Amino acid sequence: MTEATTGNKNLIGGIDDVIAPFLNGNREHRAGIELELTILKQDRDGRFIPIDNAGNKSLQHVLNNPAQYGYGFAPVETSEEAATLTLEVKTGAVSFADIEAILRDLDRQTFALQTVCADKGYIVCPFAQPPHIRHEDLFGSLIERASNRSEAFIAAFRARNLDGYCQNFFLNNAVQVSISYKDPEHLYRNVRRLAFLTSPLSTAHDNSSGYIEGKRDPLQTGLRLRESLAQGGRGGAPDFFFTSKNGEDFIRNYFLWAFNTKLIARCDANGENLQAVAPGDELSFQELIERGGGLNHQTNFELAFGMLWPHVKLGYIRGVNGKVTGVRYEARSCDAGGWRNASFPLVVAALAFDEKFGRNVDALLAEYGFSVNDAADSVDLYRDSINAALHYEDRFGTGACTEFLSRFGALVGKAFADIPDSQRHLKPFLKVSADGILPGVKAREQHPALADALAVLRASAKNPSGKTAPDPLILRP
């Protein structure tokens, strides 16, 4: 989520006090990647368990200071997520012409992470979700950090029985792509495209084992966990994603959403001491403005803005000391792992910056009933396609998902035909798209029992690709 800057007591009187940067867009148009990964270790009995707080800190220290430990690669800056077992790797942001530079950097960082993990007896989970870890077991295994953000949100989720939220933030790893957009219309064109593409792209990038918390999951796990954030109206793709009339209207509707959604955790009048709000005592940011008392400050606004988790999210770009240097949208609808870490960023960046490719995708979507120009007519088709993807039904819009993916993959291949490095990164995605088989169905046939999924973990522990393979993209089931 957007990291709220604590201690910012500047009072916000309305949307117009904070919306301007998002209406202005950015001078520089770039893409960057965030990759969330799960780290496990084996106990004395050979069971796979989360690394603990000390292990998490030790791993990060080695990655940040590899030369001290005899490694010949550059430092890898990581950040913690909610629990000890999760780490986030980030790239810089570059223009579309330089997108391969950050993919090579992501390869480098992933290789370094796998190498250090192998030496410490850890493994990077090859699935997007560990098949057997229970989120309840992680509540006592939070990473130590200066902020009590994790504890506050966990308390808020548990008080409301939002198990899907806990599962998502503890157990689900995704690849997320941020784009510094040009202007409101550029933003809205891509929000619509990416919203409509949520179903087929999540299907193609499905990296679930078929199990979660030790139980069979018949649905597409990653998409289900991300869709669970729509409980209480905080995620998915709200109707205004499709019914907004233009880019500025979309941005204003997004801010109305943030201003009018109840805060389930908030800071005090000094912008400090983040605490969960008791059920029944929630107030929206708009209500904080109307009530007075000084809680309608920048920190609580940023919390309200950050406590929304749609498939395409708005956020700030921050520089040194947390200063806002720009704004972005973040596409966050696909599983992490192996080739997915590269193919999803390439597709998202091409949609944003290759106008010919974008127009071709718009035309293809139209053949399946999705009107990017008049998106309001496509809301029901979008909802039906999400439901089909969740249940592994071969349906997308007015046609078949496998057929759409085949044609979409052909457009992607054509767009990158003259870029050999990108073709290497895209090769597995193009194969999956052309196979005519829903990947999650195929994966479940390969791992029909929990023991089969755990066998993949054991194989990863015995043959960590970061140690033995020159290409870290091999990291996948």
User: Could you read off the pLDDT of 263-285 as tens digits, one per residue?
Assistant: 999 999 999 999 999 999 999 99
Contact, 289 vs 296, CB < 8 A?
Answer: yes
pLDDT value at residue 180: 98
Residue-wise pLDDT tens digits, 17-39: 999 999 999 999 999 999 999 99
Average pLDDT for residues 56-75, to the nearest whole number? 94
Are 304 and 310 within 8 A, CB to CB?
no
CB contact set of 218 (below 8 Å; sequence gap of 6+)? 391
Average pLDDT of the residues in 243-255:
97
How confident is the model at residue 1, as a pLDDT? 37
Angle at 65 between CA 62 and CA 66, to 5 degrees: 70
Q: Where are the alpha helices (DSSP H) in 65-98?
A: none
Q: How far is CA 173 from CA 81, 129, 144, 162, 305, in A?
A: 10, 6, 20, 18, 22
Residue 467 is assigned to a structural domain of this protein: no
Amino acid 146: pLDDT: 65
Distance between alpha carbon 148 and the CA centroid of its chain, in Å?
22
The C-alpha atoms of residue 332 and residue 380 are separated, in whole angstroms, by 22
Residue 402 has pLDDT above 80, yes or no: yes
CA-based nearest residue to 130, from 46, 214, 223, 47: 214
Residue 333 within any structural domain of the chain: yes
**Helices 149-159 and 163-171, axial angle in degrees (round to 10):** 150
pLDDT exceeds 90 at position 165: yes
Calculate Rg over the CA atoms of the chain: 21
Three-class DSSP category at 43: coil
- For CA atoms 391, 393, 397, 402, the dihedral sign is positive
Any domain includes 288: no
Query: Is a pLDDT exceeding 70 seen at residue 469?
Result: no
How does pLDDT run across 179-224, given as a tens digit for each residue?
Answer: 999 999 999 999 999 999 999 999 999 999 999 999 999 999 999 9
Quick one: pLDDT at residue 72? 93
- Beta bridge partner(s), residue 49: 41
Is residue 39 assigned to a domain? yes
Q: What is residue 3's predicted lDDT score, i.e. its pLDDT? A: 59
pLDDT at 85: 87
- What type of residue is 156? A
Say if residues 55 and 122 touch (Cβ distance below 8 Å). Answer: yes
Whether the predicted pLDDT of 470 surpasses 90 = no
In-domain check, residue 258:
no
Q: What's the predicted TM-score (pTM) here?
A: 0.94
pLDDT bin (cut points 50, 70, 90) of residue 144 is confident
Q: Report whether 33 contacts 92 (CB < 8 A).
A: no
Confidence of residue 347 (pLDDT cuts 50, 70, 90): very high
Q: Provide the CATH number for the domain around residue 320.
A: 3.30.590.20
Stretch 452-462: mean pLDDT, rounded? 87
pLDDT of 373 over the 90 cut: no
Q: Report whether 476 contacts 205 (CB < 8 A).
A: no
CA–CA separation, 281 vs 48, rounded Å? 40
The domain tally of the chain equals 1
- Is 223 inside a domain boundary? yes
Chain mean pLDDT for the chain: 91
Closest CA to 104 of 91, 118, 87: 91
pLDDT class for 465, splitting at 50, 70, 90? low
What is the per-residue pLDDT across 303-344, written as a single tens digit (0 to 9) for each? 999 999 999 999 999 987 778 999 999 999 999 999 999 999
At 364, which helix (H) or strand (E)? helix 355-367
Q: What is the mean pLDDT of residues 249-259?
A: 98
Q: Mind listing the pLDDT tens digit for each residue in 76-117? A: 988 877 778 889 999 999 999 999 999 999 999 999 999 999
Residue 387 lies in a domain: yes
pLDDT band at 420 (very low <50, low <70, confident <90, very high): confident
The percent of residues above 90 in pLDDT, for the chain, comes to 77
DSSP letter for each residue of 130-144: -SS--GGGGTT-BPP
Domain membership flag for residue 187? yes
C-beta separation of 344 from 433 below 8 A: no
Rounded CA separation 266/285 (Å): 10
Position 237 pLDDT exceeds 90: yes
**What is the distance between the alpha carbons of residues 458 and 16, in angstroms, rounded to a whole number?**
54
3-state secondary structure 171-235: HCCEEEEEECCCCHHHHHHHHHHHHHHHHHHHHHCCCCCCEECCEECCCCHHHHHHHHHHCCCCE
Q: Which amino acid is residue 251, in one-letter code?
A: I
Give the range of the structural domain holding residue 224, as residue numbers without chain letter: 22-242+310-461
Looking at residues 127-146, what average pLDDT do you find?
86
The pLDDT value recorded for residue 5 is: 80
